[in-house]
Amino acid sequence: MSKYVTVLASGIHSFIKYLYDDGFNYLLDITAIDYSEYIEEQKEKFAVVYIIRHSDFKQIKIIKAYLDVLEIESISDIFKGANWLEREVYDQYGIKFINHPNLRRVLNHKEFEGHPLRKSYPITKGQLLHEVDDLVDEMNNKLYSKDVVCSLEDGSFSECNKDLMFLNIGPAHPASHGTIRTYVALDGETIEAAVTEIGYLHRGFEKSCENHTYNQIVPYTDRLNYCSAISNNIAFVKTVEEMLDIEITPRAEAIRVMLLELSRIEDHLVCLAAILVDMGALTNYWYIYNPREDIYELLSKLTGARLTNSFMRVGGMANDLYDGFETELEFVLSKVKDGINEALSLIEHNRIFHDRTQNIGIINAKDAINASFTGPNLRASGVAFDMRKDNPYYGYENYDFDVVVGSVGDIYDRIMVRFEEIRQSTSIIKQVMNKLPEGDVNIKDASVVLPEKESVYNTIEGAMNQFKLIIDGVKVPANEYYSSLEATNGELGFFIVSDGSGTPYKVKVKAPSFTAMAAYPDMIEGSQLADCILTLGSLNIIAGEMDR
Amino acid sequence: MGLENPSLPSDTAIVTKLDEAIGWARESSLWPMIFGTACCAIEFMSVASSKYDISRFGAEVVRFAPKQADLMIVAGTITYKQAPILKQIYDQMCEPKWVISMGACACSGGFYDNYSTMQGIDEIIPVDMYVGGCPPRPEALLDALLSIQRDLRQEKYNPSRHKDFKGSLDNV
């Protein structure tokens, strides 16, 4: 699947423009690799990697450019979604993007010195921030580009035709999901300009991966999108399994599909509950949140944890389903159905709900693709891209379900797509449980899966096997590989560079929320202040996944 | 404490210590302010909703304005980027105030021992109660709340809060 095209750094812009015209118009990710400690000597110390998908949503191209000087031309004029992705590469690796409109740090704070994802940066070297960035210069530039302020001779700015008020929304604001800060310029109630600052939950996931074994990373992936932890587990181990070229058992595949859909339901429930609270519809919160509590009960019985399940392992999963799981699952699904029916009965024909959501926070299909939207947010804009249909894995082609699309791309569509996806997921789970294959959930391969406890305690081979797998980890052949699946928020991908050892050399997450957030400031400009809260809620930004 | 006992004659005077009376009054009227950043904030949603229902313990008036609250619940990872904001909000709360550090990340940085994560919020603000777990179960948070209430009943206001407090962002 992932085959490289290597391009000269000087020709990157024209090459990507050529690909864009050729139909590769959906940018997935941009990242860089620091080869300074890699096992094989490479041409240069740094390389930039672009991952682009074709408009048929099936083929992908991975483009690599080695850098002799730490500079490369920006492609943010071709892809709007590239803006923040390039800022992240600049922040983490110190690679400059020529002609980038706003090249500044995005995840780390403004007093940070150095570039943490370089191999030379010590992982535990923290740096205190003393004063928060006021974002005034970024805002001034934005207002200036919109002709709202005028430049004075001394280089400062003045308001030329409007009486603006400036307001910080977040990061410590209940409706900003904890960690998102938006700085807005208001003319009355209307947002004239907005700039967003993220990185308040940047927990160094990608750097932490570089000193843990593959199975030790699974708990970290839980905390990317913590509302649907299991789907992150699966996305990660699926990538590693493909790199190892192993096929998991049919039963494991079916259970993974079932858990993927269950976590999709779980995540959509939180998103819907939260956005309805933001709207003032508190009653719905209780109707929608209580079924989620039932899902927690079920998952904690299965995995031992309510929220952060860490259930997947390379080659299978921690354990099989317990006796009586199916009956309890049916009970939970009936609760979910009741919950969403009750909530829908309150809002479906509710005038206030319609007025607050319809034709607000619109992004059309073309802009959504250009901004690298994915998942329910993209489908709400009318693009029927779903990894489960377009690149089926784990036998998704055998299940009967619809890809739910919206028509306008407003808040209403994004909410209703999620409601309907819960129904579709329920149907998939029922189909899986009806023909759940028998057999093991783990493959039989001593170099990947831990041995049975009985042999660990009673035989020397078992004890050695356990010891080697725990201490050294699963050895993944040297490769650079991208793989993804349809997680709750859309295409969740992992780009892994391995050097043949039990620890990845580099891990990059293609996080759906990151690019959605990048488009957010433009979406709210021109709308009312109260609408920006709903727009944020409807995009279902999960900070853990966005900031990593 | 029997103050509402109707069998007492109306002219009875009850002798107690002022601290004890104030502690009794504070005990069941804690106003939490949730500083939620990550996974733990999702668990706090469970604590507040019907099943676990924090209002059974007299602390359901969740305020997001620090000036209206006296119990800060820090739920989630605090990064170096977030730290000055946490301190600013803590400083805006009026005395007396209490802090619960919910979850491994807030207590010690958890398994995020790296360049971006603060290794425990007691580096910047004093903490009264640490709740372990990643994330803690709702019962654990309720237990921390009950412990603070028990301390109040026994008139111990912040008995050991400054023990680990480092004050890294003070006087800058």
Q: What is the CATH number of domain B31-153?
A: 3.40.50.12280
pLDDT at A1: 44
Mutation choice for A interface testing from B115, B134, B170, B172 by most A CBs within 10 A: B115
Which 3-state string (H, E, C) describes A88-112? HHHHHHCCEEECCCCCCCCCCCCCC
Longest dimension (CA), chain B: 65
pLDDT at A258 over 60: yes
Chain A contact set for B46 (CB, 8 A)? 289, 293, 296, 306
Name the helix (H) or strand (E) containing A67.
strand A60-67
Q: What angle do CA A26, A31, A33 make, to 5 degrees?
A: 145
Where exactly are the structural domains of chain B? 31-153
Residue of A nearest to B137 (CA): A306
pLDDT at B62: 77
Q: Do A200 and B50 count as a contact with CB atoms less than 8 A apart? A: no
**pTM of the predicted model over 0.90:** no
Q: What's the pLDDT band for A450 if we cut at 50, 70, 90?
A: confident
Q: Do B116 and A130 count as a contact with CB atoms less than 8 A apart? A: no
Q: Do A178 and B76 count as a contact with CB atoms less than 8 A apart? A: yes
Q: Please tell me which of the candidates B43, B50, B80 has its beta carbon nearest to residue A129.
A: B80
Q: What's the pLDDT band for A124 if we cut at 50, 70, 90?
A: confident
Chain A contact set for B85 (CB, 8 A)? 132, 171-172, 200
Which 3-state string (H, E, C) describes A246-299? CCCCHHHHHHHHHHHHHHHHHHHHHHHHHHHHHCCCHHHHHHHHHHHHHHHHHH
pLDDT digits (tens, 9 = 90+) for A261-274: 999 999 999 889 88
pLDDT digits (tens, 9 = 90+) for A62-114: 998 888 888 888 888 888 888 899 999 999 998 988 888 888 888 888 888 88
Residue of B nearest to A300 (CA): B137
Q: Does B76 touch chain A (CB under 8 A)?
A: yes
ipTM of the shown complex: 0.85
Q: What's the pLDDT band for A452 if we cut at 50, 70, 90?
A: confident
Tell me the backbone φ, ψ of residue A278, rounded to 5 degrees. Answer: -60, -30
How far does CA A519 lie from the centroid of its chain?
Answer: 14
Q: Do B50 and A270 count as a contact with CB atoms less than 8 A apart? A: no
Chain B contact set for A227 (CB, 8 A)? 42
pLDDT digits (tens, 9 = 90+) for A393-416: 888 888 989 899 998 889 999 999
Q: Of A38-42, A240-244, A368-372, which gets the smallest average pLDDT?
A: A38-42
Residues in chain B with pLDDT values less than 70: 1-10, 155-163, 171-172
Q: Does B136 touch chain A (CB under 8 A)?
A: no
Q: Do B45 and A270 count as a contact with CB atoms less than 8 A apart? A: yes
CB proximity list for B58: less than 8 A, separation 6 or greater: B27, B28, B29, B30, B149
- Average pLDDT (A502-520) is 90
CA distance A366 to chain B (A): 32
Q: Do B114 and A293 count as a contact with CB atoms less than 8 A apart? A: no
- Average pLDDT (A191-210) is 88
Q: Please tell me which of the candidates B85, B111, B168 has its beta carbon nearest to residue A132.
A: B85
Q: What's the pLDDT band for A153 if we cut at 50, 70, 90?
A: low
User: Mean pLDDT, chain A, as a whole number?
Assistant: 87
pLDDT at A170 over 70: yes
Please name each of the domains of chain A with its CATH number. Answer: 4-98 (3.30.460.80), 136-197 (no CATH), 205-314+325-510 (1.10.645.10)
pLDDT at A103: 87
Q: Does B171 touch chain A (CB under 8 A)?
A: no
- Average pLDDT (A369-397) is 89
- Average pLDDT (A357-363) is 88
